[in-house]
Amino acid sequence: MLKDVPSSVLIVGSGVFGLSTAYNLAQRPEFKDTKVTVLDRLDFPAHDAASIDSSRIVRPDYPDAAYSKLAAQAQKLWRGDFGAEGRYSESGLAILLDDEDSKLGRAYMEGSLRNVSLKLGLKQGPRSEGGQVTVLDDEEAIKGVVKNMSGHIGKLGYVNWTSGWAHAENAMLHLRRLVEATNRVSFQRGEVAHLLFSPSPSSPTVSGVVLNDASELRANLTILATGAWTPRLLDLRGIASASGQILAYIDLTPSEQEKLGGNPCMLNESSGMFIIPPANNVLKVARHGYGYANPTTIPHPERPGTGETITVSLPRTKTDDPHLNIPAEGDRACRDFLKRCIPELGDRPWTHTRICWYTDTPSSDWLIDYHPTYSGLFVATGGSGHGYKFLPVIGERIAEVLMEETRDELSEELRRKWSWPKEKFRTEHVWTDDWRGGAKGMILDEELKKS
């Protein structure tokens, strides 16, 4: 079934989800008379948005077949024009373990890993011989692929040479240029205070947004792609929550860059800690963790003006507090990982640190659907810390859901995965469990107080 084409669309949020949607709509002939506006609270690129950073890992090996297929489609494009000019580097991704690491044991490594690769027809062996996956049986093998680091980087693991990383900000700038070149989308700056709800209780409708200065922007269809800030605009308790993730950066000398720059990304799957190979003399250490919750009491987003409040986790970033750094707990985790892997850089001070916000859902499936209550409202969020790699293809998939189109088998599967949940998480705050590192249940304020 094809949905009616709205005469105006307002996309709120210019991250991966919003900007890619704008690009797809701008290319659709049936939208040629539709006014498409992209609104963001900050000028592009918004430096505290999840989509803007020096790097994001691009790794297609999901246990879930649908994301795997979609990632493979994205990767084809990353390897082409979309990833040109250094926007994508196929550096490989090394998953490294110690004997004592519990989640993935030696059995998994030696058994299922080999089988998985063989089944998929991936060529095993050293990269120099065209191998796509290299199994690393001991420390020496690891040092043979993760080079010029004197520390202890693991006892076993594997490198998937078909993975890599994207320069997140540069690829977003590239997409922005593509959108601008269509001449179909207007960009506006402004922060949405709340949605514009119709007064009629019998047919609840969203007919646009109200900005902080009380001005209104009306549209036949409003698409919320506001990432981790979405729980400020919709009641998503038990559906999606913002979780703060830690990033820390050091500067390198050109010779250090030369030494380390050719390495694969390194990921410890039990602690969630990872290092992205340095580019432009900057090295990044980070953690894929349960993250920090930042409970904040706000006016009930769906009952503005009533005085009713709710408490939800929302991002706090350098835009709110220029002196905000990662808490001591996270600083220590990054420092220990750096010291352990590259002791020669272990005491190098961070040039800066950052808390970056995931929009976590219970299953880590995204939330891409019409709102079940309000007509005129569509939501595209819930990235759960793994949305970036899909940048080249996510917009057309979002638009498929929007237009209720079925292009292939994947369309149906994705629509099911991304649909509005029938059940809520057992607590109002969502903690996602996909091999996250760090402690579960940390509260940002409490951790900052310990710092």
Ligand X SMILES: *[C@@H]1O[C@H](CO)[C@@H](O)[C@H](O)[C@H]1NC(C)=O
Ligand Y SMILES: Cc1cc2nc3c(=O)[nH]c(=O)nc-3n(C[C@H](O)[C@H](O)[C@H](O)COP(=O)(O)OP(=O)(O)OC[C@H]3O[C@@H](n4cnc5c(N)ncnc54)[C@H](O)[C@@H]3O)c2cc1C
**Which residues sit at the interface with ligand Y, rule CB under 6 A?**
12-18, 39-42, 46, 49-51, 56-57, 191-192, 225-229, 245, 247, 286, 356-359, 381, 383, 385-389
Candidates 113, 192, 394, 402; binder of ligand X (CB under 6 A) is: 113
Q: Is 112 in the site for ligand X (CB under 6 A)?
A: yes
β strands within 269-393, DSSP E: 273-279, 282-287, 295-299, 309-313, 352-360, 367-370, 377-381
Q: Is 361 in the site for ligand X (CB under 6 A)?
A: no
Q: How far is CA 417 from CA 11, 65, 381, 382, in A?
A: 22, 12, 13, 11
Q: Is 256 in the site for ligand X (CB under 6 A)?
A: no
Sign of the alpha-carbon dihedral angle for 170, 173, 175, 177 = negative
Query: Of the two residues 113 and 141, which places its CB atom closer to ligand X in the complex?
Result: 113
- Show the tokens assigned to 3: 């949905």
Q: Which of 53, 51, 48 is nearest to 321 (CA)?
A: 48
Residues in the chain: 451
- Show the tokens assigned to 336: 């220990």
In whole angstroms, the minimum distance from the beta carbon of 128 to ligand Y comes to 26
Q: Rounded to whole angstroms, how far apart are CA atoms 356 and 353?
A: 10
User: Each residue of 379-393: b (16+ CB within 10 Å) or e?
Assistant: bbbbbbbbbbbbbbb
Q: Are the C-beta atoms of 190 and 196 separated by less than 8 Å?
A: no
Tell me which of ligand X, ligand Y, none is bound by residue 49, counting a contact when its beta carbon lies within the kind-specific cut-off of 5 to 8 angstroms: ligand Y
Q: Rounded to whole angstroms, how far apart are CA atoms 406 and 8?
A: 23
| Furthest C-alpha separation in the chain | 69
Q: Are the C-beta atoms of 186 and 219 separated by less than 8 Å?
A: no
Tell me which of ligand X, ligand Y, none is bound by residue 117, counting a contact when its beta carbon lies within the kind-specific cut-off of 5 to 8 angstroms: ligand X
* Among the residue ranges 4-12, 352-360, 367-375, 388-396, the one whose residues contact ligand X (CB under 6 A): 4-12
Tell me which of ligand Y, ligand X, none is bound by residue 191, counting a contact when its beta carbon lies within the kind-specific cut-off of 5 to 8 angstroms: ligand Y
Binding-site string for ligand X from residue 195 to residue 234, where x marks contact by CB under 6 A and - marks none: -----------------------x-x--------------
- Show the tokens assigned to 270: 């039990």
* Among the residue ranges 114-122, 299-307, 318-326, 426-434, the one whose residues contact ligand X (CB under 6 A): 114-122
Tell me which of ligand X, ligand Y, none is bound by residue 101, counting a contact when its beta carbon lies within the kind-specific cut-off of 5 to 8 angstroms: ligand X
Q: Is 120 in the site for ligand X (CB under 6 A)?
A: yes
Q: Are the C-beta atoms of 281 and 10 separated by less than 8 Å?
A: no
Tell me which of ligand Y, ligand X, none is bound by residue 18, counting a contact when its beta carbon lies within the kind-specific cut-off of 5 to 8 angstroms: ligand Y
Tell me which of ligand Y, ligand X, none is bound by residue 104, counting a contact when its beta carbon lies within the kind-specific cut-off of 5 to 8 angstroms: none
Q: Is 94 in the site for ligand X (CB under 6 A)?
A: no
- Show the tokens assigned to 432: 């996602």
Give, as ranges, the residues between 127 and 186 that touch ligand X (CB under 6 A).
133, 147-148, 153-154, 158, 160, 162
Candidates 22, 260, 355, 377; binder of ligand X (CB under 6 A) is: 260
In whole angstroms, the minimum distance from the beta carbon of 388 to ligand X comes to 16
* Residues binding ligand X (CB under 6 A): 6-8, 60-61, 96-98, 101, 111-113, 115-117, 120, 122, 133, 147-148, 153-154, 158, 160, 162, 218, 220, 258-263, 268, 270-271
